[in-house]
Each structure stands twice: as structure tokens, then as C-alpha cells.
């Protein structure tokens, strides 16, 4: 769940991005797992879904290999774009808080290093951005 005010806008990085509506300080929590809005899917649940929904989950959720689950953020948090020099830092795969890596002004696009938040990205993808 996003812990700060944000909105979705076109991104210069890729497609849609999530942008701050307020400044945040380095170390502030930006996103935190909250089961009231974020959803956990087991591998078996994903396999039973229609193919289009499986593709959606593979794009917009994060994989936690140790627990064999996918975590779908239910709000703007699923629109963080990847950066090799992100302005947020994750404190754990799928369930760890995401914090500001620096002081960020309102209007900043939030970015994350996908390899630190999703085991599937660490295994399968390499990023040049």
C-alpha cells in the first residue's frame, strides 16, 4: 500500500509511472505490504487463472521464491518503473518496506530496482535502464 500521496502519469521511462504529490525525506516509507489492499497468489492459484490474467500478474506482481507466492500491489505501487539507480530502496523481496533512497520532491517519478523486489526479475531479466 502506498504510504504517500501519488498519481499515475505517462512516464519518460516506460508507459505509465507513479509520481509523488508530496515531497518525502530520505528513509521515509513509501510502500508497505498491507493485506487489506495487496493480494497474495500461490503458484496453484495463478495456474488456475485465465491466461490473460496470468500474464497480468507476471507483469504487475512480484515473486517471492522462498514462499512460492506472487504479491500484487492493489494501488499505484504496481506502477513503479525500473531503474539501475532507483530513488527508492526495498528492504525485502515482495513484503519488505520500500523507502526513499534520497530526499525526493513532489512530482518525482518513483523508481525501483526490480531485481531487489522480485525473485523472478533477478532470475530472468537484465535491465539496461
Residue boundaries of the structural domains of the chain: 6-124
| Beta strands 6-10; 16-20: pairing state | antiparallel
Using the 8-state DSSP alphabet, how is residue 14 labeled?
Answer: S
All 3 cell numbers of residue 95?
513484503
Mean pLDDT over residues 117-128, rounded? Answer: 63
What pTM was computed for the model? 0.88
Backbone angles phi, psi at 35, to 5 degrees: -65, -10
Confidence of residue 96 (pLDDT cuts 50, 70, 90): confident
Q: Which CATH class is domain 6-124?
A: mainly beta
| Better-predicted residue by pLDDT, 82 or 118 | 82
pLDDT surpasses 60 at 128? no
Kindly report, residue by residue over 30-81, the tens digit of the pLDDT. Answer: 999 999 999 999 999 999 999 999 999 988 998 888 889 999 999 999 999 9
* CA-CA-CA-CA torsion sign (112, 117, 118, 119): positive
Of all residues in the chain, the percent with pLDDT exceeding 90 is 74
pLDDT of residue 129: 42
What's the mean pLDDT in 25-31?
98
Amino acid at each position: 500500500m502506498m504510504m504517500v500521496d501519488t498519481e499515475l502519469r505517462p512516464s519518460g521511462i516506460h508507459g505509465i509511472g507513479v509520481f509523488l504529490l508530496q515531497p518525502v525525506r530520505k528513509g521515509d516509507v513509501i510502500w508497505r505490504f498491507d493485506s487489506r489492499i495487496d493480494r497474495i497468489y500461490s503458484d496453484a492459484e495463478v495456474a488456475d487463472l485465465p491466461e490473460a490474467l496470468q500474464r497480468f500478474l507476471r507483469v504487475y506482481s512480484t515473486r517471492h521464491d522462498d514462499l512460492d507466492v506472487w504479491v500484487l500491489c492493489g494501488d499505484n505501487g504496481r506502477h513503479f518503473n525500473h531503474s539501475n539507480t532507483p530513488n527508492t530502496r526495498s528492504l525485502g523481496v515482495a513484503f519488505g518496506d520500500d523507502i526513499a533512497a534520497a530526499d525526493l520532491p513532489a512530482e518525482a517519478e518513483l523508481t525501483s530496482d526490480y531485481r531487489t523486489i522480485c525473485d523472478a526479475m533477478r532470475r530472468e531479466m537484465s535491465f539496461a535502464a
